[in-house]
C-alpha cells in the first residue's frame, strides 16, 4: 500500500505542463533532424540536365555522408560537392552545390579524345552517358586529394573539363538512392562496367 502511494506521489511530482512537454519534443526533433542532415544524410534535388540519362530534372535523392569518412571516393561514384575556388571566383554569387560523376582519382592521367575517356592510357567503358563526348581534353594528371568529375550528359555539362578539379574537402557526400518520382525510386544505376569486377574493365582503344 505504501509503495503504491509513493509511486503516485512521484507521478504527480514529475508531471509537466503538456505545452512544455510538447516544446521539448519539438526541440529534440529539430536537433536530431539537423544532426542527421549535417553528419549522416540529406535530401537533394536535380535542377539541370547535366546528369541525363541517369538523373532527370526534379529527381529527389538521398546523399549519404558517412562512407567518405572511412573510404575515398571511387571512380563511378555520383557525388555532391561545393564549387571549387575557380568556380567561386568566376561566379561570386554561386551558392548551390553541384552533382557529377567521379572519373579521375588523385594521380590518374585523364584524356578525352575520339569520343572516349582514357584513364592512364586505357579507354574506360561507360554505360551511363547520354552520348559520346564531342570534345577533346587533356591529357592532364589529377592533383593529390582532388578529383575530376564529369556529367553523364557529357556534351551539356559544366564540369571539370571547364573549371578543373574538386578538392576532397569540398565533397559533401555520395548520392545513393532516388526517392522521387515514385516510378523511378531505388538505387541509382546502371552500375559502371569498371565497377562490376575487381579489376577495371577497359574498352578497346578508339582508333
- Please state the domain count of the chain: 2
Residue 195 confidence (pLDDT): 86
d(CA 93, CA 69): 29
- Residue 201 pLDDT > 60: no
If you ran DSSP here, which 8-state letter would residue 62 be given? E
CATH number of the domain encompassing residue 153: 2.10.109.10
Q: Which of 61-65, 136-140, 197-201 has the highest mean pLDDT?
A: 136-140
96 lies in the same domain as 172: yes
Task: Round the average pLDDT of the chain to a whole number and report it.
Answer: 83
Which one is predicted more confidently, 144 or 26?
144
Does pTM top 0.75 for this prediction?
A: yes
The band of 94, judged by pLDDT with boundaries at 50, 70 and 90, is confident
Q: N- to C-terminal Cα distance for the chain?
A: 93
Q: Does residue 42 sit in helix, strand or coil? A: strand
98 contacts 62 by C-beta, under 8 angstroms: no
117 lies in the same domain as 28: no
Average pLDDT for residues 84-112, to the nearest whole number?
93
28 lies in the same domain as 127: no
If you ran DSSP here, which 8-state letter would residue 207 be given? -
Average pLDDT for residues 66-94, to the nearest whole number?
93
Task: Catalogue the active-site residues.
Answer: 50, 100
77 lies in the same domain as 125: yes
- Between the alpha carbon of residue 101 and those of residues 28, 98, 151, 159, the distances in Å are 36, 10, 6, 10
- Residue 47 pLDDT > 70: yes
User: Among candidates 139, 124, 131, which has minimal Cα distance to 157?
Assistant: 131
Average pLDDT for residues 54-65, to the nearest whole number?
94
Residue 92 confidence (pLDDT): 87
Residue 45 confidence (pLDDT): 87
Least confident segment among 32-36, 139-143, 148-152, 171-175: 32-36
d(CA 87, CA 104): 19
Residues in the chain: 207
Task: Print the domain residue range for 28.
Answer: 2-36
31 lies in the same domain as 56: no
List phi, psi (to 5°) of 22: -65, -40
23 lies in the same domain as 100: no
Amino acid at each position: 500500500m505504501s509503495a503504491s502511494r509513493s509511486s503516485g506521489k512521484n507521478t504527480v511530482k514529475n508531471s509537466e505542463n503538456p505545452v512544455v512537454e510538447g516544446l521539448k519534443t519539438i526541440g529534440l526533433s529539430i536537433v536530431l533532424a539537423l544532426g542527421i542532415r549535417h553528419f549522416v544524410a540529406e535530401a537533394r534535388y536535380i535542377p539541370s540536365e547535366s546528369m541525363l540519362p541517369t538523373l532527370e530534372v526534379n529527381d529527389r535523392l538521398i546523399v549519404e555522408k558517412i562512407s567518405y569518412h572511412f573510404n575515398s571516393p571511387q571512380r563511378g561514384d555520383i557525388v555532391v560537392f561545393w564549387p571549387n575556388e575557380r568556380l567561386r571566383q568566376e561566379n561570386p554569387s554561386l551558392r548551390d552545390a553541384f552533382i557529377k560523376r567521379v572519373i579521375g582519382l588523385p594521380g590518374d592521367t585523364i584524356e578525352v579524345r575520339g569520343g572516349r575517356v582514357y584513364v592512364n592510357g586505357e579507354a574506360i567503358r561507360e554505360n551511363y552517358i547520354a552520348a559520346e563526348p564531342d570534345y577533346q581534353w587533356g591529357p592532364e594528371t589529377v592533383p593529390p586529394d582532388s578529383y575530376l568529375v564529369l556529367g553523364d550528359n557529357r556534351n551539356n555539362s559544366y564540369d571539370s573539363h571547364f573549371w578543373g578539379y574538386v578538392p576532397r574537402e569540398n565533397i559533401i557526400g555520395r548520392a545513393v538512392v532516388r526517392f522521387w518520382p515514385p516510378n523511378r525510386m531505388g538505387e541509382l544505376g546502371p552500375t559502371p562496367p569498371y565497377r562490376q569486377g575487381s579489376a577495371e574493365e577497359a574498352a578497346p582503344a578508339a582508333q
